[in-house]
Homo-oligomer: A and B are copies of this chain.
Amino acid sequence: MLNFNFYNPTHVVFGKDRLSEIATLIPENAKVLIIYGGGSIKKFGTFDKIVKALESFEIFEFGGIEPNPQLQTCIKAAEYIKENNIDFILAVGGGSVLDATKYISIAAKYYGNDYKSLIKHGFTPVPVTEAVPFGTVLTLPATGSEMNAFSVISDETGKYAVYSPLFFPKFSFLDPTLTYTLPKKQVANGIVDTFIHVVEQYITFPVDAKFQDRAAEGILQTLVEIGDYTLNNPEDYDARANFMWCATMALNGVVGSGVPQDWSTHMIGHEFTAKFDIDHGRTLAMVLPSLLRERKENKKAKLLQYAERVWGITEGNADERIEAAIQQTENFFNSLGVPTKISDYSVKKEELKDIITQLESHGMVALSETGDLTLDVAERILENAY
């Protein structure tokens, strides 16, 4: 097992009919800004419930956070916070709203003249010491942003991972019933995103981290078990609760502590979202199978463990078992309506080289758990994923 630090102070409030408790977790007399996305929280009554829960506070609102939140929108929100002396932010939405809120929380305490500089530090903490405190109400399980310190912000040059210990929400409300009205496609994307978050931390090389492996497999097994069912039975509470909790546990440190991590599928996928505006979860599904095939020698031991423990595959030689596990993975994504080939999207084969160029321009030239997924390897992965 590798050395690790585990620190996650977010207070999770999980379950149905608990939004009235929000007020107990916000400092008294705070001026509260509610940040949200496209307005579905108003359409389905969530906004009204929250406003009622916060009736003892002075409330402000800032809507219009887009999927893949844009730096310029976040800057507007940060300036709005400065103008109105907001004390606390409540993010209501999915990963995009939560990620935007994280960036906004530090930008609202930033008094320099280069907001863009705050998104260019990768996995090194942003050099800031203060943030507006914030909590979240999650409506779309997928990114794990509700219980971690990561954010992804986009500008005209690409998608950027941003990290700060200040990015842990003070609290996150996870109410599975708020997901009942989600479009099927978003739920499918969220299941795939969650699945691949785990894969990035699990299908690497073995370091004898037994509990972490079992926990990772537990999330993958659960997603396989409930995926198709929850898509077609959106109001089955327990299925949604299991999906929601798995999405959180997939990226809050529990399965990733003390193990190598890959993240190359994410880094390549981000470039497809940046260039072609393909949903994040879908970009992952179209890269992963080809990546696993390309890297099957590097990942051999874990792929065999994955085949056996997640898919029950024990027949055949090592190559056959690995290929069967990758095919099962593809079948699973396909069963959710998520394609697994780049050619299933409006991407021309000759545009694949643009993705390589973007990876290079973003410094993504030595990806993976061993740092040897170079651009030529990435190119082969994309060609075979087409």
A residues contacting B by CB (< 8 A) are 1-16, 18, 207-215, 217-219, 221-222, 225-226, 237-238, 241-242, 245-246, 249, 254, 257-258
Q: How far is the CB of A300 from chain B (nearest CB, A)?
A: 20
How far is B5's CA from A29's CA once the two chains are assembled, in angstroms?
24
Q: How far is the CB of A352 from chain B (nearest CB, A)?
A: 37
Q: Among B6, B215, B226, B258, point to the contact of A215 (Cβ < 8 A).
A: B215
Q: Decide: B258 and A14 in contact? CB cutoff 8 A.
A: yes
Ordered by A's residue number, 5 sampled pairs between the chains whose C-beta atoms are within 8 Å are A207-B238, A211-B218, A214-B218, A214-B219, A215-B218
Q: Decide: B5 and A11 in contact? CB cutoff 8 A.
A: yes
Q: Among B3, B5, B11, B222, point to the contact of A211 (Cβ < 8 A).
A: B222
New A-B contacts (18) at CB < 8 Å, excluding given A1-B15, A7-B10, A211-B218:
A1-B237, A1-B241, A3-B15, A5-B11, A5-B12, A7-B12, A8-B8, A15-B258, A208-B238, A208-B242, A209-B241, A210-B222, A210-B226, A211-B249, A214-B215, A214-B222, A215-B218, A241-B258
Closest to A9 in B: B9
How far is B5's CA from A11's CA once the two chains are assembled, in angstroms?
7
Contacts of A13 in B (CB 8 A): 5
Q: Decide: A14 and B5 in contact? CB cutoff 8 A.
A: yes
Closest to A248 in B: B6
Contacts of A9 in B (CB 8 A): 7-9
Q: Decide: B214 and A217 in contact? CB cutoff 8 A.
A: yes
Q: Decide: A12 and B3 in contact? CB cutoff 8 A.
A: no
Q: How far is the CB of A101 from chain B (nearest CB, A)?
A: 20
Q: Decide: B18 and A7 in contact? CB cutoff 8 A.
A: no
Q: Decide: B11 and A4 in contact? CB cutoff 8 A.
A: no
Contacts of A211 in B (CB 8 A): 215, 218-219, 222, 242, 245-246, 249
Q: Decide: A1 and B242 in contact? CB cutoff 8 A.
A: yes
Q: How far is the CB of A361 from chain B (nearest CB, A)?
A: 36
How far is B242's CA from A238's CA once the two chains are assembled, in angstroms?
31
How far is B246's CA from A72's CA once the two chains are assembled, in angstroms?
45
Q: Among B15, B207, B215, B246, point to the contact of A4 (Cβ < 8 A).
A: B15
Q: How far is the CB of A168 from chain B (nearest CB, A)?
A: 9
Contacts of A225 in B (CB 8 A): 210
Q: How far is the CB of A293 from chain B (nearest CB, A)?
A: 27
Closest to A21 in B: B5
How far is B11's CA from A1's CA once the two chains are assembled, in angstroms?
18
Q: Among B207, B238, B254, point to the contact of A254 (Cβ < 8 A).
A: B254
How far is B3's CA from A16's CA once the two chains are assembled, in angstroms?
7
Q: How far is the CB of A156 from chain B (nearest CB, A)?
A: 38
Closest to A238 in B: B208
Closest to A16 in B: B3
| Residue among A4, A218, A258 having the largest count of chain B Cβ atoms under 10 Å | A218
Contacts of A5 in B (CB 8 A): 11-14
How far is B153's CA from A369's CA once the two chains are assembled, in angstroms?
46
| Residue among A9, A10, A245 having the largest count of chain B Cβ atoms under 10 Å | A245
Q: Decide: B221 and A214 in contact? CB cutoff 8 A.
A: yes
How far is B214's CA from A221's CA once the two chains are assembled, in angstroms?
9
Q: How far is the CB of A195 from chain B (nearest CB, A)?
A: 13
Closest to A221 in B: B214
How far is B217's CA from A156's CA once the two chains are assembled, in angstroms?
47
Q: How far is the CB of A259 from chain B (nearest CB, A)?
A: 11
